[in-house]
Amino acid sequence: GAVVSQHPSRVICKSGTSVKIECRSLDFQATTMFWYRQFPKQSLMLMATSNEGSKATYEQGVEKDKFLINHASLTLSTLTVTSAHPEDSSFYICSALSRAVAEAFFGQGTRLTVV
């Protein structure tokens, strides 16, 4: 199957700083990528849909100025958590949609801890 690389897998940052998470589709082009947040022992919560070359579509309740998404190429989307707070600590997962096989492939996730 197709491979999606998400980096970093773990990051610890100080309150008030910003953290960038990258999501790359390694062997296919993804015009659409999705960013999720997952709390412990809970399901995935869709934060935003990222479309290459256009602005991301954010789900209700997700602050677009806090969670900046950039999808500048067909293989890369980034999520930047700005002015991080401890409550932003979570597991963030990206997925990339392969329209060729009508399937979304997932990255391995990023464990963000804000101290």
Partner 1 sequence: AQSVTQPDIHITVSEGASLELRCNYSYGATPYLFWYVQSPGQGLQLLLKYFSGDTLVQGIKGFEAEFKRSQSSFNLRKPSVHWSDAAEYFCAVDGAGNNRKLIWGLGTSLAVNP
- 1 contributes a contact to partner 1 by CB under 8 A: yes
Name which position in 21, 97, 112, 114 contacts partner 1 (CB under 8 A).
97
CA 34 from centre of chain: 6
Helices (H), 52-93: none
The residue (of 82 and 104) whose beta carbon lies closer to partner 1 is 104
Give dist(CA 36, CA 91) in Å, integer: 8
Q: Please, which of residues 57-96 interact with partner 1 by CB under 8 A? A: 57, 91, 93, 95
Q: Around Cβ 49, how many Cβ atoms within 10 Å? A: 16
Q: Kindly state the number of chain residues that form the binding site for partner 1, as judged by CB under 8 A.
A: 27
Q: Read off the DSSP letter of residue 63.
A: -
By CB under 8 A, what part of segment 19-48 binds partner 1? Answer: 32, 34, 41-44, 46
